[in-house]
Every structure is written in C-alpha cells, then in structure tokens.
A and B are shown apart, each in its own frame.
Chain A
C-alpha cells in the first residue's frame, strides 16, 4: 500500500520468498546435474589436491558447465524481465513484450545471417556479436526514423514494420540456408542456455548490467508514465528523453539476452504480468520482484530442460511456458485474485 515510499512488511516477505526461491534453484542447478555425484562428492572433488579423473570431471563440470549456466540464467532472466516490465509501462499495455520494437527480431535476423553465411566454424563470437548489434540496430533505426516519436502508437507501428521486415529477411535467409544451417537456425530460435561459457557471459554482463541497473532505478518514472504522458511530464519526467533512453536500455538488455541464449519467449511477457496480479502495478515493487522471479523461472525451466530427457536436452522455451503457463492460468482464475485490492 505504501507505493513508492517504503517497503512494507508484506513486500519484504515477497522479495525474501522470491530471492530464496531463485537462490535455492541456483544452488540446486550447480549441485545437481545428470553427472553422478552428490554434494559431498562435489565438495571433495573441488577441494581435493590430487583429484582423480572423475573428480576432475566433476569439478570441471561445476566450474565450466553448471556455474556459467546458472550465471547465464540469472543474466538472461533479469534482462528479459526488466525489459518486459519497462516495455509494458512505456506502451501502457500489459501485453507488450520486450521485443515489441523489433530488437528481438533484429537480433534474430543478424544471427541468421551469421548462421547461414558463416558456415559451421563461423559461429564462435560472431553470432552473439551479430545478435546484439542486430537488436540495437533495429531499435536505433526506429528511433532515428524521422517519425513523430511522441506517439507510442507510431513507435508500435514502426516496431511492427521492423518485425515484418526482419521476418521477411529471416524467411529469405532460411530459403538460402542449406539443410544444416536451417536446423541450427531453428534451434537457435528455440533458445537455450546450453552454450553458456564465461567468455560470452562476462562481456554480455558488462554490457547489460549498466542498462539493467539504470532501468531498475526508473520505477517512479515508469509509474508516472502509467498515468499518461501528460501527467508524467507534469510530475517532472522528461517524457521524450526518458522514453528514448528506456527503449535503448531495453534493446541492450534484449540484445545481450538473445546474443547468449537465443530467443526465449514467455519470460519477458508473462513474468511481469504474473507478478502484477500478485503485487499490483507499482513498479517500485514490480521491477525488483520481476528481476528475482524471472531468473527463478528460467533456472527451474533449465534444470528440467537438462535433466528431464538427459542425456538429451529439451528446448528451454517449451519448459518456461510449461511451468509458467499453468501458474498464470491459476492466478487468472483464482478467486483470490487481487484479494488485497478488493
């Protein structure tokens, strides 16, 4: 109830619960995997001075497979959630998603170009770099077009146009692609945390963290914007400037997420929506809560993705929807929905 002013006891409980959930899922993800070895075995492997081969493998799995994966889940989750919340506030529409202004499809197009023309060996750093630049380029293109930037409707329509153009480009690229590239493309579009590696995560985090931190501090401006742009202006928000910066920050977040993990749907759209049902629309609560809940959901989904059909792996997008979807429906149908707000 104490909007924008102070953290109530109830808020604290919710943050604590979400943080505990995210942390325990992260712990579970680093401690447990298809590879045999319980916690004590893992500890022994990590602390052993002269490890056996299997201990080396376990330790290496911990440092180079599980830990980067968890780190990537956290990064991607926070990126998508924060960008999602911001987009929904900017467009004053709870159905907006992070890629609304074309950043995700721009990233997809650039990545597809690399997959199709780069061959198998050209995928190293070129792919994430291309995806990130694609996301940023699509957003900048919209912002630099000499259209009436004051109108969110215009921005939305430009976003639709960019998405359509990118989809056409993607279609053309998949036409050019050989069978093999086509498969890679399809899997890339499903999204996966499987490629997580420190050399990719560090630069992505370095780019995304400033954008995330800035967005997390914009809760009050986003709240004001929900009232309307006129009202926001009168409440001291430099609306045009703010929208510009927020859109660029969002595209950086989406770009970094897509670059490392491909396109993971659902999280950015539904997590904010879901939390809004529980917490209300106040961004002072919604932003931090989403930034905790989205990584938790992603971690849960990823844990299932790599354990459920091991030794194979399920596309994570399927699982995020599978876990989040029913929960979302439950909340929508729950008679206690909005109980605290009469």
Chain B
C-alpha cells in the first residue's frame, strides 16, 4: 500500500537499428481486439438480410477487422443477434452465448432484438434479448440500415478500446439465478416488458 519500495529502475538500451515504440499493454491488447472482432451472426429475421448486406462487398464488414465470420460460437468474439427471438429460441441463444469464450461482446441489432419491437408484443416473442444475455450495443431500426450496424460496431470498437485489463469484472460470466435461470429479477422483467402507449387498451377480442 505504497510502503513497498519502488523497484530499481531498469534502463533498457534502445536498439538503434530497428524502429520501436512504447505503449501501454491495455492499449496494445485493446487495439488488437477491436480490430479483429470475429462476429457470430445469429440471424433470425429481416435484420439478418441487412447484416448480409453489411458483410457483402458494398459496405464490407472486413474493413472493420471482421474478415472472418465465425459460424461457431466457440471461435467468436462478438454475437450479433439480428432479428426477433421467440421464446422457443431463448434457451438456444443463452446456450450459444455461454459457449462463446471470453472476451466476448454482444450487439443487439434492430428493434425486435432490442425490445420486442412493439408489434411483436405477443405470446411468442422475447421482449428484448437483454432478458436472456447481456448486451453491449443496441442498434435501433426496423431493420437498421448497414450504416446503422456499422455505427453500432464502431461504438463497440470504442468500448473495447477503453477497456481496462485491471477491471476483472469485465470478464466475469454472468451467472443466472439457478432457480429461475434469469439474470434480472422477475419483477423488473415484468415492469420493463409492459406495453408502451395505449396498446394496453387494445384488447381486440374484448375478452
């Protein structure tokens, strides 16, 4: 706690014949990570079409270091959930997230994945994948244009760039509650997935 003496300073002789720079380890590692994110697309709906457009030659995801798409969660850093997730897929998405090794990030692409999109406020669709897995960046849009997804990816890159390796909590796996398998308390889920606006009053069948 400040009482240990500083170690002897070591003077390193810089070689004169090769170019060299000094940097911080964090900056170096984060620079590497942010420029070689391997995305794992989890495309379930029309957002996946926009994702394909983003990955194709016109927008070219490879410019952002995503040359290689990982279609196996075990070789992926970044889960891009593109499209609505029905309850039947919820355990699958959870399993895929758990299969990804750290460090890992998640982009929720589009309104359905982020919030259930309102129009899918029904018996079958999860109201936002953040109920199942932690999300780093939400990309709005229905579906978002490729520029939108690229902006979200750049935001994530900024986030990766600013990570501190001394903050161990970043790499903690979130353990779901063993009884309910939920990350967030049930009351919070119920409150957050209340319908917006006047849709409460739209009980069409009158029953």
Q: Bound pair: A and B?
A: no
